[in-house]
Amino acid sequence: MIELNFSHMMEEVIGSRGLSERIIEDLRDRAKEVHKQIGDRLLPELAFIDLISQDTSEIKRIAREIRRGAESFLILGIGGSALGPRAILEALSPFHNLQKIPKIFIYDNVDPRTLKQILALTDLKTTSVNVISKSGSTAETAAAFMILWDEMKKVPCSDISKRFIATTDPEKGNLRKIVNEEGLKSLAIPQGVGGRYSVLSPVGLLLSEVIGIDADELLMGARDIQKKCSDQELWKNPAYLFGTLLYLMDREKHRTIDVMMAYADGLKPFTEWFCQLWAESLGKQGRGLTPYPSIGSTDQHSQLQLWIDGTQDKVLIFIRVNDYSVDIQLPDIFQNMEGLSYLSGHTLSELIKAEEEATELALAKAGRPNMTITVPQIDAYHMGQLFHFLELATAFTGLLYEINPFNQPGVEEGKNLTYGMMGKKGFEEKRKEVEDHREKKARWRI
Ligand code: PA5
């Protein structure tokens, strides 16, 4: 089971920049209220909690078909529809494309260079495309889908409907309409489950099965952590404590950046997944800590100086791995060089764990708050725990802030201005606004 250690958040350990037990205690009743809101499914989007008991048989069936027939599996999606699959891929099947078939490509932008390269690297005759969009109307995903659809049509003897799997809303949206009209295979993202809370829905689970990772293991992990995080008592609930500690660091200590630093290369996309979850859920009404993704020990040599000695505005969240499953011993060579010989006989996992522990302590000694999530192993079961734990903690934190952690009103204006520029009907005013603004933008240039 994953474990949260928050000793380095506490005043008793790191001094006045830490939190007192009393201040946490003051939020106990509020946590109980939020617990009730979660239990009552106050907002329909809390449906993500129920994903943990879904039936995966249809996902497994479609994945088997893909594995049998495809040499490449291409995901089209953006935001929550891509970050979760990428986190699963890199954590559970690192260097996948150098070793395994089907090769996996995740196109989560509209950069033409990337798509050109993907098209050059794949043979569409043997490619399955998984287009993922909850709303079915996201411009970037729609654009990529239209291109792939058109390209796929040019492939001789290709039964186009068989080459696409749409993962989308069960009833609504353009993508669902296309599924119905063209007879595409499809998987449903359950009602209420929004993009950034969807990794444990068919959004992440289909990819998981395609790369040979049992989706039920991910869900079993999520179910077990759900049990551990079901207590209304703040002191006994790690997800609620995680959220409360960061909330208090923001509110009471004016720390407005939370860095997630994972000591495993394969968890880099996972830290990016967390950053999207946290930022889009909590960055509202002038509130919210800014999340920042990081990898240890690598970033000790690029960022740590700032975190330990720079502006007093950050909280570090370490992800520590107990057992890396493999290890490499350092050879007994260069014995006459003191600067190297101390390493001999140790292993790489000893070194990376020492680096992590040392960094925690160095920060704590400098009065810099940090906490650690320890993961026994990077496998499907524990990844399921991590995903669900952080989703629960994020939803809890949003409710603690009294904001809606499931919407994203701030991104609408940019979308509308884009629609205007791309000529979408009804957005003519927005186009004019962009054009008028170009004059202002033209003035201060060198
Ligand atoms: O978390 C979210 O809701 C967003 O990041 C969405 O995932 C993203 O905007 C893509 O939306 P959709 O899945 O509807 O295409």
Residue 82 sits in the same domain as residue 27: no
* Token pair recorded at residue 3: 């474990």
Residue 225 sits in the same domain as residue 374: yes
Ligand 1: residue whose CA is nearest its atom 3: 195
**In angstroms, what is the span from residue 51 Cα to ligand 1's centroid?**
17
Terminal alpha carbon distance of the chain: 56
Q: How many domains does the chain have?
A: 2
What is the distance between the alpha carbons of residues 319 and 356, in angstroms, rounded to a whole number? 9
Question: Residue 396 has what pLDDT?
Answer: 98
Ligand 1: residue whose CA is nearest its atom 15: 133
**Residue 426 maps to a domain:** no
Residue 143 sits in the same domain as residue 178: yes
Residue 347 sits in the same domain as residue 301: yes
Banded model confidence at residue 158, pLDDT cuts 50, 70, 90:
confident
**Residue 338 maps to a domain:** yes
**Residue 204 maps to a domain:** no
Banded model confidence at residue 159, pLDDT cuts 50, 70, 90:
confident
**Residue 31 maps to a domain:** yes
**Residue 432 maps to a domain:** no
Task: Quick: pLDDT tens for 177-234.
Answer: 999 999 999 999 999 999 999 999 999 999 999 999 999 999 999 999 999 999 999 9
Q: Which H or E run contains 163?
A: helix 160-163
Per-residue exposure over 266-277, b if at least 16 CB sit within 10 Å of its own CB, e if not:
bbbbbbbbbbbb
Residue 29 sits in the same domain as residue 64: no
The number of beta carbons lying within 10 Å of the beta carbon of residue 39 is 12
**In angstroms, what is the span from residue 443 Cα to ligand 1's centroid?**
35
What average pLDDT does the segment 420-425 reach? 94
Please choose, from the candidates 389, 91, 80, 56, the residue with its C-alpha nearest in 3D space to the C-alpha of residue 217: 56
Question: Residue 241 has what pLDDT?
Answer: 98
195 Cβ closer than 6 Å to some ligand 1 atom: yes
Which residue type does 131 have?
A: V
What average pLDDT does the segment 33-58 reach? 97
Residue with tokens 């497994």: 60
Question: Residue 36 has what pLDDT?
Answer: 98
Cα 316 to Cα 101, 164, 386: the distances in Å are 37, 41, 17
Share of the chain above pLDDT 90, in %: 96
Task: Quick: pLDDT tens for 325-359.
Answer: 999 999 999 999 999 999 999 999 999 999 999 99
Q: Which domain holds residue 121?
A: 55-189
135 Cβ closer than 6 Å to some ligand 1 atom: yes
CB 296 within 8 A of CB 318: yes
194 Cβ closer than 6 Å to some ligand 1 atom: yes
**In angstroms, what is the span from residue 133 Cα to ligand 1's centroid?**
7
The catalytic residues are 280, 301, 415
Q: Is 423 helix (H, G, I), strand (E, B) or coil?
A: coil
- Residue 12 has, within 13 A of its CA and on its CB side, a CA count of 6
Cα 70 to Cα 59, 101, 186, 297, 409: the distances in Å are 16, 8, 17, 37, 39
Query: Does the structure show a pLDDT above 80 at 165?
Result: yes
Residue 375 sits in the same domain as residue 272: yes
Question: Residue 156 has what pLDDT?
Answer: 86
Banded model confidence at residue 435, pLDDT cuts 50, 70, 90:
very high
Residue 61 sits in the same domain as residue 16: no
Tell me the CATH number at 287: 3.40.50.10490
What is the distance between the alpha carbons of residues 173 and 81, in angstroms, rounded to a whole number? 15
Ligand 1: residue whose CA is nearest its atom 2: 195
What average pLDDT does the segment 407-414 reach? 92
**Residue 196 maps to a domain:** no
Q: Can you tell me which atom of ligand 1 is nearest the CA of 141?
A: 15
What average pLDDT does the segment 295-321 reach? 97
What is the distance between the alpha carbons of residues 68 and 126, in angstroms, rounded to a whole number? 10
What is the distance between the alpha carbons of residues 26 and 161, in angstroms, rounded to a whole number? 57
Question: Residue 157 has what pLDDT?
Answer: 75
Residue 250 sits in the same domain as residue 331: yes
**In angstroms, what is the span from residue 28 Cα to ligand 1's centroid?**
33
Question: Residue 265 has what pLDDT?
Answer: 98
Ligand 1: residue whose CA is nearest its atom 5: 79
Residue 143 sits in the same domain as residue 244: no
Residue 262 sits in the same domain as residue 372: yes
CB 123 within 8 A of CB 243: no
Residue 235 sits in the same domain as residue 177: no
Residue with tokens 């509130």: 287
Q: Can you tell me which atom of ligand 1 is nearest the CA of 196?
A: 1
**Residue 318 maps to a domain:** yes
**In angstroms, what is the span from residue 135 Cα to ligand 1's centroid?**
7
* Token pair recorded at residue 140: 């970037």
**Residue 226 maps to a domain:** yes
Question: Residue 443 has what pLDDT?
Answer: 86
Residue 79 sits in the same domain as residue 165: yes
What is the distance between the alpha carbons of residues 264 and 114, in angstroms, rounded to a whole number? 26
- Counting ligand 1 atoms within 8 A of each CB, the residue from 48, 75, 81 with the most, and so the one to mutate, is 81
CB 349 within 8 A of CB 378: no
